Amino acid sequence: MKFTLSALVAAAALAASAAIAPASAGHRDCTADMAYLNPDHDGTIDWHEARRAAVRLFHKLDPDHDGTLDRNELRGRVGILSMARFNPDRDGTLDKHEFLALVKHRFERANPDKDGTIDCRELSSLAGRNLLRVLK
């Protein structure tokens, strides 16, 4: 019984340290993300700044310049379910309007206080990291 209790304590300590490390790492990375996404340096990202970054990324991810992004071009940024949800014409690609609808949805999810801006705390959340995938 003593071995089991010590194993439980060790596992709990390991879990607690794993939970703390990503939070501090996310906050540290936020400064670089803010510098890239926040040209007015006000400490928050508004929809216009997010949209500008998303359009920039869209063009970067579209090397064939066909005006759409397929699953290969979106690899690691958009999952199967999001691809299906934001691709109403079911052509297997996202055009710029569909891509921006996805970005807008992720922006709203990352902004739980509904103030229209994303701060460092919100950007470090799971929803904020999902937003970053389609902005950088």
Q: For residues 119 and 10, which has the higher predicted lDDT (pLDDT)?
A: 119
pLDDT in tens, 6-62: 554 454 544 444 444 444 444 446 889 998 999 999 999 999 999 999 999 999 999
- Residue pair 109/102 in contact by the 8 Å Cβ criterion: no
The two most distant CA atoms of the chain are separated, in Å, by 65
Q: What is the pTM of this model?
A: 0.77
Indicate the pLDDT class of residue 2, thresholds 50, 70 and 90: low
- Residue pair 45/34 in contact by the 8 Å Cβ criterion: yes
What residue has token string 């297997």? 92
pLDDT in tens, 57-99: 999 999 999 999 999 999 999 999 999 999 999 999 999 999 9
List the domains of the chain with CATH numbers. 25-133 (1.10.238.10)
The tokens of 85 are what?
């949800």
Q: What residue spans of 38-134 are helical by DSSP H?
A: 47-61, 80-85, 96-109, 120-123, 126-133
